[in-house]
Amino acid sequence: MPREGTRSATGHSKPRVFPVVDTAPAVKRTTKPKVAAPKKEKPAPAAKAAKPAGVTKKKAPKKESAVAKKVKATVKKVADKKNEKADKAEKTEKAVVEKAEKEVKPKTAPKKKEAAAAK
């Protein structure tokens, strides 16, 4: 019967193996420079392979995920709103310019009366 407190009592009775550290000096190896081999020209691309005979499956077009659709829709809405704001700004700007032009233009009728009174 084994003594209490030994390794065999725990179920791990394999002998312990301690690694031996190698203390020998490292061997330095010198590397010789490799001679560059002459480059070979790449062969011309071969003709396309023949199409397989018989029934072949066509690849289905990729479906957009629901998230991608939602993102695209949101981007489009934002772009439309931005365009609407720009259009409104242009319209108000044009209205202001037209109003200013109407105020600046002198009326031609009073000039004729002044010319008749001068004679």
Cα–Cα distance measured from residue 18 to residue 56, given in angstroms and rounded to the nearest whole number = 63
Domain boundaries, the chain: 65-119
**Position 96 pLDDT exceeds 80:** yes
DSSP single-letter state for residue 5:
T
Residues belonging to the chain: 119
Structure tokens at 83: 């365009």
Q: What percent of the chain has pLDDT over 90?
A: 9
Residue 112 confidence (pLDDT): 59
Task: Kindly report, residue by residue over 15-62, the tens digit of the pLDDT.
Answer: 778 888 888 888 888 887 777 766 666 666 666 777 767 777 788 888
CA distance from start to end of the chain:
148
Residue 10 confidence (pLDDT): 66
Tell me the residue type at 14: K
Q: b/e per residue, 43-57, with b = 16+ CB within 10 A?
A: eeeeeeeeeeeeeee
Cα–Cα distance measured from residue 83 to residue 89, given in angstroms and rounded to the nearest whole number = 10
Structure tokens at 70: 């939602």
Task: Kindly report, residue by residue over 8-17, the tens digit of the pLDDT.
Answer: 666 666 777 8
